[in-house]
Each structure stands twice: as structure tokens, then as C-alpha cells.
């Protein structure tokens, strides 16, 4: 008897190992085993069993680790797709879907009763929905009941989205159904988790990298046992082994934080959609400022658009043209800061529009002024998303200023740039119209996919990369850009409509080009290109 194993190595193969007679009873698809690979003891995941093998020399499996399979079938199929789309080995893709303790081969039989979790089941908070919100809730609910594989784009402010999530989860928990909900940052996820735990108690699990190994494993186990039915997490949460899954929520779908920047370089939002497709489930993308790509798909009816518009609120905004004001702090901004401080009100200043968690609701007493010293750090990035991001960040800031009833001062070198003008007008439609036209003209996403081939740290000679570029131009049906050198790293960028097809070609070509783990990295749907 032979077992086909996946190993967490950058080698794109399924490995055959012999199953000794003593282990034939124990071995099963989905269990982990210990094997020797190139002199090292390595964890293998059993993906198949057979009577034959065409390998010549075959080593034996040393030991079966698990008493019960730990890899669910969805994880096999999802990771298989990841390996093809994001250009990594199946084993590497599988491994990221498991808690780190399991990856290392630990067995972890939890002996003692777990400490009592804080189960403060507060009084059932009834959330009141407006008629419009109810209609949105119903449309999603009905799609779930019909077992549709449908992606919804929920275009609404945060409070409205969270109410709807709450209502959906409350409803689905009543039917013992599972929900995955993803948030871009750990802080946001924790905030929502606390809120949900206080309502739904034990049924809620958390999943992100700030959990320590033991916690992560416990949450994973609670999900598999069906004790936790709702998981709230960051991008890793897309791999949650929730039982009876019925809905995947991706909040702030436009966020760049969903993109993993090390191998495999997946985007959790796109994976959520893929997982929905594989398992035939409903996916809800939520956003107050939808990404241009998602909005485009909604317009094309690929996604269903659910919109809750809110009337404009008023706030004082002052735009300052920095090209006429060479100082970091224009006199106007300076005066406003002083006024605000004199009134004993807080001031928030953004040196750049940047920063990951900065825009989230930290606690200050009263904020009188929000100032942006420059918008250029985002606007001038060599990045097809720079306009989109500028628009999104400014829109978020304006909303924050409205909530705080604070004044807003924005200094910029590009006061007439459409992303800034539209953001100040609160006109998403107009911004979208201009941006999508621009993307279409230049053949940028969502009309095409980018694929970056990254050559690290000057290890590769330029001639070699140029030769590769030539080979690619010849053999591959894709536009090839570069190589471009940027801070010691060479980039080649490909533009294609069919990622899977191109990747197969790439594998052939790069295979002979020495894709060592460290030397060449392939990044599909990158956030940057040069």
C-alpha cells in the first residue's frame, strides 16, 4: 500500500511513500504522518491511498500522527486551487490553512477541561432595523435558504453593515448554521468579536495571528467540533473549519490588508469568493467605499448590489493647495490648530494619508480638528490603486470628521485631482466612472490580471532576467513589462486575462530557471507594480 503525501515544501509535487503493514489500519486520507525527506523529519498530509506507485525508490512512513483526519475536504480543494492560482506548492497552500501547532506535527491531545470561557450572555440585544435594512437582510437570507452561490456587494456605512451582520448571524445561529466573518485588522476583528461574544457567547470563535498557539488550536478545535459556529477573524479566518457553513462575510472588502505578502500571496477576499464557489455558499462583501473592481462586477451583475445610501451630512472641509503654500503647516492649518487647542479640543494630524489602523475609532475625548499634511504619499505611489486608495481614505476621514463634528483641513499638491474632488463631494459614482474609464484605457484590473515576478536582493544578474523577459515575450500570450529595478529588487510584470493558463506556462519556463524558495517569487494580483 502506498500513500500520496503533501509536504510543506516549495516543491510542486505529490510524494509517494510506502505504508508499512503495521500502519495500514491507522492510515487514512486527511491524517498527518511523519516521514523522512532529504534527511529531515517532516510532516506529511495524506491526500490519497493506492496499491501502486510508479516511483522507483520509496521510503516508508515512520508514524501516523492523528487518530482522526484533520484536513477537511474543502481545505484540500481550496488549497489545490491556491497552489495553481498563486503559484506555490499544494503542500505550502494546505499548511497555511491549519493552526501552526498542527503544521509542526504536534499531537495536542487536550487533557484537562478547558478553562471556562467568559460567557457573559448579556440580555438579548434586539437590533432595530429600518425597512430598507430589513429588505437587504431578507434578500441575503433568501439566497442562503435557496443554497445559492451568490456574491453580494453590500454598499453601506459601517453601523448599517454591522447591524445586518448581527441580524444574519442571529438568524443563522438559530438554525445551527456556520458563518465566517472577516475583518481587515486584528483590532477591528477583536472589537466585533467582543461585541458578538457578549451576545452569542460560546458560539463565537476568534481567529487571527495574535492568538497564541494554544488559543489558536482550541478555537480551531471548537469549530471542528461544531461548538463554535461563528468565526470572527482576519485574513487567515478564510480557512476556518466551521461546520455547516452557510455564509462568508468579508467586511471592508476594499482593504489591502486582505492581501498576504508572503508565500502563498493570497487575497483573502478573493479566496472567500472562491471558497463560496467551491462550497456553493453565499458571500457578502461589505464596504462603505467599495473597491472599483468589486463595484465593476456588481454593475456587470456578477455580484448583486445591495445599497443603503445615507443622506449627506455636513462638515467643514478646507482644501489647501500646497503648491502655493510651501510650508508643511500652512498658516491656515496652524491657526486652526491653535484655535482648537485653545478650546481644549483634540487635534489629529496625519503626516501622510496612511497608516493601517490609524483611521479606526480610537478613543479621544472631543476632537475639534483633523488635518492632513499631505496626500501625496498615497497619490504618487507607482500603483494602479493609488486613486482608489486616496478616494477611500479621504472618504473615511470625512466620515470620521462628521461623526466627531470636527473641522477637516486637507493640504495637497493636487487639489484638482478627481479622487480628491469626488471624495470632498461625496460622489462615489462620479469617481467610479472616471477611474473605470482610466483602467479600461490602460488595460488595468479589473480588465486584466497583473502577475509580478520578483527577483530578490541582487542575487540575479540583470542579463539573466532580461533573457527571461525575452523568453517570456516569445512563449507566453501576455504583455511583458520590465525588468524594472526598485530598491535592489528586479520586477517583471505580466498582464493576462487567464491566470491559471499563464501559470502553467510559467511553471514550465521558470522550472528550468531555478525557482528556489528565496530567489524568485511570483505574486499574482499584486498591490504594486513598477
Partner DNA sequence: GCAGTTTTCTGTCAATTATG
Partner DNA sequence: CATAATTGACAGAAAACTGC
Note the residues at the interface with DNA (CB under 7 A).
96, 100-101, 103, 106-109, 111, 185-187, 208-210, 212-214, 234-236, 257, 260-262, 352, 354-357, 377-378, 381, 389, 454, 518, 521, 527-528
Q: At its nearest, how many Å lie between DNA and the CB of residue 268?
A: 8
**CA separation, residue 139 to residues 103, 305, 355, 378 (Å):** 40, 11, 36, 37
166-205 in b/e form (b: 16+ CB < 10 A) is bbbbbbbbeeebbbbbbbbbbbbbbbbbeebbbbbeebbb
Grid cell 510543506 is found at: 8
CB 45 within 8 A of CB 5: yes
Nearer to DNA, 101 or 471 (CB): 101
- Based on DSSP, count helices (H) and strands (E) in the chain, helices before strands: 16, 20
Instruction: Report residue 439 as a C-alpha cell.
Output: 483602467
Q: At its nearest, how many Å lie between DNA and the CB of residue 41?
A: 10
Q: At its nearest, how many Å lie between DNA and the CB of residue 443?
A: 21
Other residues' Cβ atoms within 10 Å of the Cβ of residue 76: 20
d(CA 36, CA 60): 8
- The full length of the chain comes to 530
Phi-psi label, residue 182: left if phi above 0, alpha if psi -120 to 50, beta otherwise: beta
Nearer to DNA, 176 or 225 (CB): 225
CB 33 within 8 A of CB 59: no
Q: At its nearest, how many Å lie between DNA and the CB of residue 284?
A: 21
d(CA 510, CA 176): 47
Nearer to DNA, 357 or 514 (CB): 357
Name the nearest CA neighbour of 306 among 465, 116, 499, 157: 157
Q: At its nearest, how many Å lie between DNA and the CB of residue 430?
A: 24
Instruction: Report residue 226 as a C-alpha cell.
Output: 461544531
Name the nearest CA neighbour of 140 among 178, 169, 181, 173: 169
Q: At its nearest, how many Å lie between DNA and the CB of residue 299?
A: 27
Nearer to DNA, 8 or 340 (CB): 8
The CA-based angle 139-145-151, given to 5 degrees, is 55
Nearer to DNA, 6 or 136 (CB): 6
Q: At its nearest, how many Å lie between DNA and the CB of residue 136?
A: 29
HEC secondary structure over 51-92: CCCCCCCCCECCEECCCCCCCCHHHHHHHHHHHHHCCCCHHH
Nearer to DNA, 22 or 244 (CB): 22
Spatial CB neighbours of 225, under 8 Å, sequence gap ≥ 6: none
Q: At its nearest, how many Å lie between DNA and the CB of residue 489?
A: 7
d(CA 455, CA 451): 13
Q: At its nearest, how many Å lie between DNA and the CB of residue 123?
A: 32
Nearer to DNA, 365 or 487 (CB): 487
Nearer to DNA, 93 or 298 (CB): 93
Q: At its nearest, how many Å lie between DNA and the CB of residue 256?
A: 7
Nearer to DNA, 18 or 527 (CB): 527
Q: At its nearest, how many Å lie between DNA and the CB of residue 416?
A: 22
d(CA 60, CA 44): 12
Nearer to DNA, 138 or 518 (CB): 518
Nearer to DNA, 343 or 351 (CB): 351
Amino acid at each position: 500500500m502506498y500513500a500520496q503525501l503533501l509536504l510543506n515544501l516549495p516543491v510542486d509535487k505529490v510524494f509517494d511513500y510506502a505504508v508499512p503493514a503495521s500502519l495500514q489500519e491507522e492510515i487514512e486520507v486527511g491524517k498527518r504522518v511523519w516521514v523522512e525527506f532529504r534527511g529531515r523529519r517532516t510532516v506529511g498530509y495524506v491526500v490519497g491511498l493506492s496499491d501502486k506507485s510508479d516511483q522507483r525508490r520509496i521510503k516508508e512512513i515512520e508514524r501516523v500522527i492523528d487518530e482522526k483526519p484533520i484536513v477537511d475536504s474543502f481545505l484540500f480543494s481550496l488549497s489545490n486551487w491556491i497552489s495553481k492560482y498563486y503559484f506555490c506548492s499544494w503542500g505550502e497552500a494546505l499548511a497555511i490553512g491549519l493552526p501552526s501547532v498542527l503544521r509542526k506535527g504536534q499531537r495536542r491531545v487536550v487533557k484537562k477541561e478547558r478553562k471556562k470561557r467568559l460567557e457573559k450572555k448579556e440580555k438579548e440585544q434586539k437590533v432595530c432595523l429600518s425597512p430598507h435594512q430589513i429588505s437587504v437582510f431578507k434578500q441575503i437570507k433568501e439566497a442562503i435558504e435557496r443554497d445559492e452561490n451568490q456574491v453580494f456587494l453590500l454598499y453601506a456605512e459601517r453601523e448599517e453593515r454591522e447591524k445586518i451582520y448581527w441580524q444574519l448571524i442571529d438568524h443563522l445561529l438559530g438554525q445551527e448554521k456556520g458563518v465566517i466573518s472577516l475583518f481587515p485588522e486584528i483590532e477591528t476583528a477583536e472589537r466585533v468579536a467582543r461585541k458578538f461574544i457578549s451576545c452569542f457567547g460560546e458560539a463565537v470563535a476568534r481567529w487571527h495571528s495574535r492568538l497564541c498557539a494554544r488559543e489558536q488550536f482550541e478555537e480551531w478545535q471548537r469549530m471542528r467540533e461544531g461548538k463554535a459556529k461563528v468565526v470572527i477573524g482576519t485574513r487567515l479566518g478564510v480557512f476556518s473549519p466551521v461546520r455547516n457553513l452557510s455564509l462568508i462575510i468579508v467586511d471592508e472588502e476594499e482593504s489591502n490588508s486582505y492581501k498576504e505578502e508572503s508565500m502563498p500571496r493570497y487575497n483573502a477576499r478573493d479566496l472567500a469568493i472562491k471558497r463560496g464557489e467551491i462550497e456553493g455558499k453565499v458571500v457578502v462583501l461589505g464596504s462603505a467605499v467599495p473597491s472599483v473592481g468589486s463595484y465593476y462586477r456588481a454593475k456587470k451583475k456578477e455580484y448583486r448590489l445591495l445599497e443603503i445610501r445615507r443622506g449627506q451630512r455636513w462638515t467643514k472641509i478646507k482644501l489647501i493647495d500646497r503648491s502655493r503654500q510651501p510650508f508643511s503647516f500652512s498658516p491656515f492649518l496652524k491657526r486652526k490648530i491653535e484655535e482648537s487647542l485653545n478650546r481644549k479640543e483634540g487635534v489629529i494630524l496625519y503626516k501622510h494619508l496612511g497608516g493601517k489602523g490609524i483611521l479606526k475609532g480610537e478613543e479621544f475625548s472631543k476632537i475639534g480638528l483633523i488635518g492632513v499634511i499631505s496626500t501625496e504619499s498615497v497619490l504618487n505611489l507607482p500603483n494602479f490603486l493609488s486613486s482608489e486608495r486616496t478616494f477611500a481614505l479621504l472618504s473615511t476621514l470625512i466620515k470620521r470628521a462628521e461623526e466627531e463634528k470636527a473641522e477637516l483641513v486637507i493640504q495637497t499638491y493636487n487639489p484638482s485631482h478627481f479622487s480628491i474632488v469626488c471624495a470632498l463631494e461625496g460622489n462615489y459614482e462620479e469617481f467610479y466612472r472616471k477611474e473605470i474609464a482610466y483602467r479600461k484605457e490602460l488595460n488595468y484590473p479589473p480588465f486584466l490580471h497583473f502577475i509580478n515576478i520578483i527577483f530578490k536582493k541582487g542575487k540575479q544578474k540583470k542579463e539573466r532576467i532580461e533573457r527571461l523577459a525575452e523568453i517570456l515575450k516569445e512563449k507566453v500570450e501576455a504583455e511583458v513589462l520590465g525588468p524594472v529595478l526598485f530598491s535592489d529588487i528586479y520586477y517583471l510584470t505580466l498582464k493576462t486575462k487567464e491566470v491559471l493558463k499563464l501559470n502553467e506556462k510559467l511553471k514550465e519556463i521558470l522550472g528550468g530557471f531555478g525557482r528556489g524558495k528565496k530567489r524568485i517569487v511570483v505574486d499574482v494580483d499584486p498591490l504594486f507594480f513598477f
